[in-house]
Amino acid sequence: MSQYLLLLYDEPSGVERFRKLPPDQMQKAMQQYLDWTNKSRQAGFYVASNKLTNDTGRVVRSGSGRPVVTDGPFSESKELLGGYYLIEASSYDEAFQRIQDHPHFAHGGTIAIRQVESLR
């Protein structure tokens, strides 16, 4: 069975709209994600997941042959990466089928699916 990384993206306006939800609606939305996580765990294809923090993070680039750390990443991108799931599936098609009911779609988000190459 292969592993697939699900990258959860949203537009900046969607992120702001989510942050401004009243507490009860925010809790309901978060519960939808937790319910999907539990369902995928029970179905046996869940491996891991995490929400990224709201900071900008850091980028480490090569600078004259040495690592140089800067704030970021900053880009012209219209979408922000907010978190990820790692699931197991036999193919991209099966990974796609497994995420049909993911709540991120109901909230207007985008999920990129990438197969993970095992280095073992």
Domain ranges of the chain: 2-116
At 9-64, the pLDDT tens digits run 988 777 778 888 899 998 999 999 999 999 999 999 999 999 988 777 888 888 88
Mean pLDDT of the chain: 89
Domain spanning 2-116, CATH architecture: 2-Layer Sandwich (3.30)
At residue 2, does pLDDT exceed 90?
Answer: yes
Predicted model pTM: 0.84
Count Cα atoms within 13 angstroms, Cβ side, for 62: 2
Alpha-carbon gap, residue 9 to 79, rounded angstroms: 6
pLDDT for res 115? 97
- Band of residue 76 on the pLDDT scale cut at 50, 70, 90: low
- 102: number of Cβ within 10 Å: 20
